[in-house]
Structure formats: structure tokens, C-alpha cells
Amino acid sequence: MKPAWRDELMTEYAGLADKLERLLPCVEVPMHLPWIDAIQALKRERGAVVMAHSYQSPEIFHGVADVTGDSLALAQAAADCDADIVVLCGVHFMAETAKILAPQVKVLIPDPLAGCSLADSITAADVRALRARHPGAPVVTYVNTSAEVKAESDACCTSANAVQVVEAMGADKVIFLPDRYLGAHVAGQTDVQLVLWDGRCEVHETFTAAEARHARQRFDARLVAHPECPPEVLAEADFVGSTSAMGAWLEREQPERVALITECSMADNLRLRFPATEFIKPCNLCPHMKRITLQNIHACLRDLSPEVRVPDDVAARARRALERMLAVGRGERV
């Protein structure tokens, strides 16, 4: 049942409405407020924490999330979580990661079909076959993978700490999975030989160098790109980094105009932090992230379902790989 409109909502949520009106068409805001109000009430009733990735839409990221950030920040928050219930507003591997790191917590995902092209690109059997072909080489796996793949790995990493994790393996050769473009970017920053897999992000791989050049020439914009983009796109960028590193670069550089070459909602969620910067959006949306809505967050909290479960033996092995990543720490090069 749709939550009822109350005239008091515009007063009770005046600060939030002002934020959202700067990020969304203003006619949408009154449509979102009853859902936001109902979700806030359910969070209190359930003792739940909502975690949202930076690629979530503004009404979720700013409206209902208690914890926001990139994959590493959400993983760290899950490891430290003392809530009874976590609702993970992101894709399925992120919810699995939260469950692995906080096994005592009931982890819910609003839509279990929110997947990831990278996670779908590799299986646990593929990892075992790579180990057989490269005996002795440790496996570093990007967090954008299933629990089963993490369980076959020596350590996980994010785009924020991939170089540091690779070098922490203390090996001359490392199997790096599954993103080919991120792997190539990492390989350019270390002397460690990397064995790569041909996985790609369906959002970032579609950006082109021509689009990047157009943003610079037409709008006189600085270019900031995610390392999951193709190498010819990264070659055009003024800065390449993870979602958290992008924010740090903006804080330092304070550009007049910038094009973020990553998932579209990232720019929306940074605009409030940097009101003096104009954001040019070469906009690609992640269809999986956009499966998460206020409506299914509300249903998830109401019904305490769908719940994310990971088999104990898989979770134990995957947890070791994730904890090794967290032990290395962020240590970003920005």
C-alpha cells in the first residue's frame, strides 16, 4: 500500500526537500517524501541500518541511507556493524560482502536481481583453473565478484586499494580478477606481473575517448575517470581513481567544471558537496543499481525479505580474503 501524503511532510523534511530539489526535478520530491517518511519509521521499528552505494539515486542516497560510500567503505561499515538488520542498497555482491563480514546480522537486499556484469563474468571453477595454470601465484579478486569466487581467492581488493593489495601479496606474479581494464590500470602502477581475466563493467566499458574529448573541448571540463573504463578513456583523463578518490580529488582541486566518467548518479551525489563546481555528466546508468527503489526498500523492511544468505563454508573462506583486504587498509594514491 502506498504511504499517504501528509501536508506536514514538507515542513518535517524541509531540509531534505531543499537538497533533493537541487538534484532532482522538483515535481518528483513530493512523490518521494511519503516513501522516505515510511522507510524512516520502519527503520526505527526494526532497528535497521540502511547502507547505500554512491551509485544509488539521490532520493535513496540522501533520503534514507544511514551509511554511504564506495564498496570499501560499505565493507568496512559492515565489518563494524552492530545493528540487527542491514538493508544493502546496492548490487548483490555488496549484500553478500556485508553478510560475510557481519554473519550475526540479518542482511536484506531490496531486489535480489540487482546483479553485476563483472560478478557474472567469472566462476569459482574459473579461479581454480587459473591457479592450476599458474601454480604458486596468489589470487587477488576485485570485490565485484560472488562469494564463491571470493572464497577461492587469497585476498580481495577494491579499485581504491588494488595496487596496495597486489603488492602486499609479496609475489612476483599475481592473478588479478576479473576486471581487465582495472587490471591493466593496476599493472601500470606496479612491477608485479599480473595475470588478467577478460571481465568488464557493462557501464564503464561503454564510455569512449571521443566522449571524453568532447566533454573537455565543448565544456572546458576537467576529466575524472573510474579505472574500470577502457584504457583509451583513462588516457584522456586528468585523474583516474575510485569513487572515494574522485571526491578527494575534487576537494583538493576545486575545479570550475568537471566531467565524471562513471555511473551517472555519482555526479548527482557529489554536487551537494561541491556547489561551486559545475558537473558535466556523460551519463551512463547502471541498470542493476537502478533496480533499487524507495518502494522496494520499504517492502524489504516491512517484510524482512529478501534475506541474503551465504553457506557457512563459503563465507568462512571468503571472509579470510576480505579481512586480508581490510588489513591492508585503504592507503589511496590520490
Element (H, E) at 67: strand 67-69
Sheet with 85-89, strands from edge to edge, namely 67-69, 48-53, 85-89, 106-108
What pLDDT sits at residue 81? Answer: 86
Q: What is d(CA 161, CA 172) in angstroms, rounded to the nearest whole number?
A: 18
DSSP state of 28: G
User: Under DSSP, is residue 278 helix (H, G, I), strand (E, B) or coil?
Assistant: strand
Residue-by-residue DSSP string for 172-237: SEEEEESBHHHHHHHHTT-SSEEEE--B--TTGGG--HHHHHHHHHHH--EEEE-TTS-HHHHTT-
DSSP state of 26: G
- The single-letter code of the amino acid at 66 is D
Give this prediction's pTM. Answer: 0.91
Give the C-alpha distances (Å, rounded to integers) separating 317 from 109, 123, 215, 253, 255: 22, 15, 44, 41, 44
Render each residue's pLDDT in the chain as its tens digit; 334 residues.
889 899 999 999 999 999 999 999 889 999 999 999 999 999 999 999 999 999 999 999 999 999 998 887 888 898 888 899 999 999 999 999 999 999 999 999 999 999 999 999 999 999 999 999 999 999 999 999 999 999 999 999 999 899 999 999 999 999 999 999 999 999 999 999 999 999 999 999 999 999 999 999 999 999 999 999 999 999 999 999 998 899 999 999 999 999 999 998 888 889 989 999 999 877 788 999 999 999 999 999 999 999 999 999 999 999 999 999 988 864 433 2
Note whether 135 and 173 are within 8 A (CB): no
What pLDDT sits at residue 334? Answer: 27
Give the C-alpha distances (Å, rounded to integers) separating 17 from 41, 59, 68, 218, 292: 18, 10, 19, 33, 20
Q: What is d(CA 140, CA 146) in angstroms, rounded to the nearest whole number?
A: 14
Q: What is d(CA 305, CA 326) in angstroms, rounded to the nearest whole number?
A: 29
Q: What is d(CA 231, CA 123) in angstroms, rounded to the nearest whole number?
A: 25
Cβ count within 10 A of residue 148: 18
Note whether 74 and 330 are within 8 A (CB): no
**Grid cell for residue 281:** 555528466
Q: What is d(CA 148, CA 234) in angstroms, rounded to the nearest whole number?
A: 31
